[in-house]
Amino acid sequence: MSLSVGDRAPEFSLPDQDKQVVSLTDLRGTPVLLVFYPFAFSGICTGELCQLRDELANYTDAGVEVLAISTDPVFSLKAFKAQEGFEFPLLSDFWPHGEVAKAYGVFNEKAGMAVRGTFLVDAEGAVAFAEVNSPGDPREQSGWKDAVAGLAA
């Protein structure tokens, strides 16, 4: 079962595409948008993350840190980031496989991947927005932007 608004966001530490560890605890005091996605280089995921890249100022201007998380290994994420020019960290939930996605209730055991889960964690570590989309169901990002605007209000 995925998290709901008001739940405490599970803590995690994951390597980014450069093998640098990113910890949710270290970001406390800053709102964080967590964007779980199935696989680097796949069609829908690439489209979603490219839209996020192109509209990143909507989040960074509001003081929100954006983190994208998949179960891909760091080497794939490094190539994906370089190819697409992403300016936000791509975190690897590769090993133990999908543990963070499981903690957020967005891991598909059968396929061994994260599903499209999006969580806005406020500066105190509570979930301020939560949305989970089915496999093959692209996300509409307007809800994330509204949630970010709500934090700033």
Q: Cis link prior to 31 (omega < 30° from 0)? A: no
Residue 45 is among the residues annotated as catalytic for this protein: yes
- From CA 46, how far away is CA 125, in angstroms rounded? 28
Mapping DSSP onto H, E and C, the string for 51-98 reads HHHHCCHHHHCCCCEEEEEECCCHHHHHHHHHHHCCCCCEEECCCCCC
Residue from 32, 45, 74, 106 carrying the catalytic annotation: 45
Residues annotated as part of the active site: 45
